Chains A and B, each alone.
Chain A
Amino acid sequence: MKAKDLMIPLQEFLKPDNTLKEAANILRTAKRDEERIGVKGLPVLDADGNMVGFVSIRDILKAVFPPYMSLMNLGDFTWDGMVEDIAKKAGNRKVSEIMAKKVISVDEDAPLMECVDHMIKNNVKRLPVIGKDGKVVGILYERDIFYAITKAMLNENSK
């Protein structure tokens, strides 16, 4: 099985000059299978359709996390309403400011083990799949690899 056999074809994406408000809304209402129940990450494509970054909901969490908090153990000294206050200000920031610029992706013909290798070593749950023309053709989800693994296990047992 290869990456392209398991990936979900690309339907929605973000643009670098989307605001975080818009991005959050697109993530929340994006199509998953046939329902609009939201996804946890989308690629960011420029005007020519080339991938320039990736935004996951973790990146949205990071956008409201003050940088000084990561320097010391200050989590015990925060207050109620802090996240909401910063979120109000962060809503107008651009996707290009917060997106992950270095995106781990795979070619559409990559074997499944290569995909697993990327996911485990880079601690990501989604891999953009790149087609022959260098553009994103779909997203491969951890969950779908899990289904493939399950299927292989069950087939073995039924023999």
Chain B
Amino acid sequence: MTQEAVTTQPFVMNTAFWTATIIFLLAYAVIVTEKIHKTIVAIFGAGLMLVFKILEQHEAFHLEEFGVDWNVIFLLISMMVIINIMRPTGVFEYIAIKSAKWGKGEPFRILVIFAIVTAVLSAFLDNVTTVLLIVPVTILIADALEVDAMPYLISCALASNIGGTATLIGDPPNIMIASKAQLNFMDFIYHLTPVIIITMVFYIFAIKLIWGKKLKTREELKKRIMAMNENEAIKDPVMLKKSLAVLVVVLTGFVFHGVLHFQPATIALFGAGLLLLLSKTHEPHHILAEVEWPTIFFFIGLFIVIGGVVKVGLIKWMSIQVLELTQGNLFATSMVVMWFSAFASAFIDNIPYVATMNPLIIDMAKQLWPNVSGIQLLHHPDLMPIWWSLALGACLGGNGTAIGASATVIVVGMSEKLGRRISFGKFMLYGMPIMIMTIVISTFYVWLRYYVFKI
């Protein structure tokens, strides 16, 4: 069966259309209510799409257009394996304690340094891993200085989402966009990293305004921080060297994967395999068991659910509505995509959202440029700003509320478990203004770079 033989069906609202649409909407609704775990919803939804023959199993498992995006799946699994091997070496504790000491025990300096460290780590690791590693140290440092841990916790979530936006591997929406739009690592560095650096500068000014004056400590408490010896954190120096070497190989691989014609997942899978080999472990099941399988299966199920509504034409119908709204004006479309994505991602999981938007944008492009196809269509100069607007909106939008992104959900959830509860309202009080600020910056960036200077 060739790809051409199974392109999107002609636009008919038949039984299949309505069946797929109902499965899709119900899945979304149940995910939003959180009554059933989202992974179970996604897998069951995928099962329904297959049982009702909306998708053939072959389409769900083997076709890029309708099925599971294995590039995303293997990139996520491989990066998780690499981090799981690195974690016990103590490198993350080392980085965090070193950062606190750079801050010389000054509470606000530490807040800023932690924000930058979190942003940089989030750009290269997934956001959930980053905040899981930063939050415990953050609370320890706040306790040592006898200051409120809340600013550090909220800032950790916000900085993680901002930093994660900067690269292809930083945040799952970017991984999904990169795979669908066939964009490489350097495309993201060239187009998104600059605006994220600008955004971080504004973010630091913003937290200076919000918390700058409130964080005070006593001189003798600063000594507690300065007495910490970060070198004690390193538990396995040999493994650490191996991990860092593999990380360098993987990051170099990402930088050149476009030139070398490798998919990002190839690079990551090779890195994970290499590090597993170097670790000389005879029990890989421990490392593999720590992969976040619920997240992985959430993606797998979701890709199939979305594949179903792509095939029946629902997504195409939605893309027509967007084009009618913006009357084919591409700048207006970029802005609608960015701002709608930001507010949508603030309240619903940005992963299903982007999984829906990716095919929607491709369908939109097919209608705008019916004579262009393949990579020329995906990388049409007028389409590129829309991809970047989607990435910026969906990633940064996660900062809006306590449920907006995985990193925020984890920080708020951990805070509660650790006895430092942050309410939904309290988070939004800081998160929503910061989100709006970052989207305003992105709006100016996209407008100036792609529509005024056209660079």
Contact = CB atoms under 8 A, between A and B. Distances in A.
Interface residues of B, number: 23
B93 A73 contact: yes
B343 to A, nearest CB: 33
Interface string A103-138: 000000000000000000000000000000000000
B233 A66 contact: no
Contacts of B136: 68-69, 71-72, 74
B148 to A, nearest CB: 15
Contacts of A67: 417-419
B133 interface: yes
A79 B93 contact: no
A72 B133 contact: yes
Contact of B228 (A68, A69, A72, A77): A77
Contacts of A77: 93, 97, 137, 140, 228, 232-233
Nearest to A81: B224
A68 B229 contact: no
A81 to B, nearest CB: 9
B144 interface: yes
A82 B145 CA distance: 12
A65 B52 CA distance: 53
Instruction: Report, as a range, how many residues of chain A touch the other chain.
Output: 10 to 19
Contact of B144 (A68, A69, A71, A79): A79
B49 interface: no
A69 B141 CA distance: 12
A149 B78 CA distance: 53
Interface of B: 90, 92-93, 97, 132-133, 135-137, 139-140, 143-144, 224, 227-229, 232-233, 235, 417-419
14 contacts: A66-B139, A66-B140, A66-B143, A67-B417, A67-B418, A68-B135, A69-B136, A74-B136, A74-B140, A76-B229, A77-B93, A77-B137, A77-B232, A82-B143
**What are the 6 closest A-B residue pairs judged by CB atoms, nearest first?**
A76-B232, A68-B136, A71-B136, A79-B224, A72-B136, A77-B228
Given A69-B140, A79-B224, 5 more contacts: A67-B418, A68-B139, A72-B93, A73-B233, A77-B140
